[in-house]
Amino acid sequence: MTSITMQRVTVLGSTGSIGTSTLDVIARHPDRYQVHALTAHTSKEALLNQCLRFRPAVAVLDSEDDAHWLRTELGRARQPTKVMVGPQALCDVARDAHVDIVMAAIVGAAGLLPSLAAAEAGKRVLLANKEALVMGGALFMQAVARSGATLLPIDSEHNAIFQCLPPEHRGGLARHGISQLLLTASGGPFRTWSEAAIAQVTPEQACAHPNWSMGRKISVDSATLMNKGLELIEACWLFDARPDQIQVVVHPQSVIHSMAAYQDGSVLAQMGNPDMRTPIAYGLAWPERIHAGVEALDLFQVARLDFEAADEARFPCLPLAREAMRIGGLSPVVLNAANEVAVEAFLNHRLDFLGIGQLVEEVLSLSINGPADCLESILWADQRARQRADGWLERWSA
């Protein structure tokens, strides 16, 4: 009987939807996986409960006040988990020599540096933070190549494409007989709404995704189709593809998670119930397959599969993302930063739903560009774009 080597896992963003799903899969395989570190932004109570259950060596929070609270509570429970604080601690637990696997599930630009640290340290990186590639795609892929890290995409669409491609797919799609990547999208909750109705959308409506259970920011991105735009940029880096080689296909059932079209006319698709534990389990055990707690797809219950083109007039964030990737350089950094500011403003009732795309388009037009060839330039562009976005918001609300 083949022995199983215990793998130690750091979960960056453990209290979010991807993080909790990761811990669910890990808990099903105590003979395979041991939690080394868990991190959260401000969800200290949820992190405490995770620490009490999984007993990690390290826990990380964003503020010293929250960390002090967690140390006190863990002390009362006589648990020796070390509590660390801040961005540097995130990078430290991502590159820790004791760690084999890093689940990179921090939402937004905050996930860039720890995800990059894991890649530089040669870890198996389960990438659920798309901003790491949207902002620093060239740097990230170079780090993977230099260190020998294993990069496995966890977004359901990219994980599906990964499963449909040959084991070695770098060097351009045509080299491997691939003509196109088909990136599926549910279409979000407003797929059939008129532009007039979309203008009245509330944050609560935007966060009510019809198929997936996700955080608020990602839910809004799905509703605007910016999430699909960011995924298009991510797919370009992951699969060495051009933006024009990727087609977004609206598929409301979210059963086919994405496809790869080959030059001989074949189209390979990965199907399954819309549950993130499937790609998470795939990433944890690859190239093996392990139980994820997900029911098998019942095709008779699904009954039908529908497909349609994305309406880029009603959802302009998608073409804005494609154009940012076509321009290249720092443009995707600017796109992402402006979108994060816009989504936060929308969730706080400072901006209407249609204003998200308007803000992003305005900031993109301000020519904050140049080569994205170093971390300093990327962080500068991110900060500058946020400043421009904040200025636009102030004028908009005046």
pLDDT, tens digit (0-9, with 9 covering 90-100), for 71-125? 999 999 999 999 999 999 999 999 999 999 999 999 888 899 999 999 999 999 9
Q: Residue 42 pLDDT more than 60? A: yes
Confirm if 96 and 36 have CB atoms less than 8 A apart.
yes
User: Cis omega (within 30 of 0) on the bond before 287?
Assistant: yes
pLDDT > 90 fraction of the chain, expressed in percent and rounded: 87
- Tell me which fold the domain 7-153 belongs to: Rossmann fold (3.40.50)
Q: Residue 212 pLDDT more than 80? A: no
* Burial of 129: CB neighbours in 10 Å, binned 0-12, 13-18, 19+: buried
pLDDT band at 215 (very low <50, low <70, confident <90, very high): confident
Over the stretch 317-365, which tens digit does the pLDDT of each residue have? Answer: 999 999 999 999 999 999 999 999 999 999 999 999 999 999 999 999 9
| pLDDT reported for residue 369 | 82
pLDDT band at 1 (very low <50, low <70, confident <90, very high): very low
Residue range 202-216: mean pLDDT, rounded = 78
Locate 47 and state its tokens.
């992190």
For all residues of the chain together, what is the average pLDDT? 94
Per DSSP, the three-state class of 298 is coil
Q: Residue 3 pLDDT more than 70? A: no
pLDDT band at 397 (very low <50, low <70, confident <90, very high): confident
List, in order, residues 6 or more apart from 9 with CB less than 8 Å away.
Answer: 22, 26, 33, 34, 35, 36, 99, 100, 101, 102, 103, 284
- 17-26, 87-96, 166-175, 356-365: which has the minimum mean pLDDT? 166-175
| pLDDT reported for residue 308 | 95
Over the stretch 257-270, which tens digit does the pLDDT of each residue have? Answer: 999 999 999 999 99
| pLDDT reported for residue 2 | 54
Distance CA 187, CA 174 (A): 29
| pLDDT reported for residue 188 | 85
What is the CATH code for 328-398? 1.10.1740.10
Q: Where are the domains of the chain?
A: 7-153, 155-316, 328-398
| pLDDT reported for residue 330 | 96
Over the stretch 216-238, which tens digit does the pLDDT of each residue have? Answer: 888 999 999 999 999 999 999 99
Residue range 248-253: mean pLDDT, rounded = 95
Residue range 357-382: mean pLDDT, rounded = 92
pLDDT band at 398 (very low <50, low <70, confident <90, very high): low
* Burial of 80: CB neighbours in 10 Å, binned 0-12, 13-18, 19+: exposed
Distance CA 34, CA 279 (A): 19
- Phi (first) and psi of residue 236, to 5 degrees: -60, -45
Locate 272 and state its tokens.
């399954």
Q: Residue 375 pLDDT more than 50? A: yes
C-alpha dist (Å) from residue 90 to 38, 53, 380: 9, 21, 21
C-alpha dist (Å) from residue 273 to 115, 139, 160, 253, 284: 28, 34, 12, 9, 19
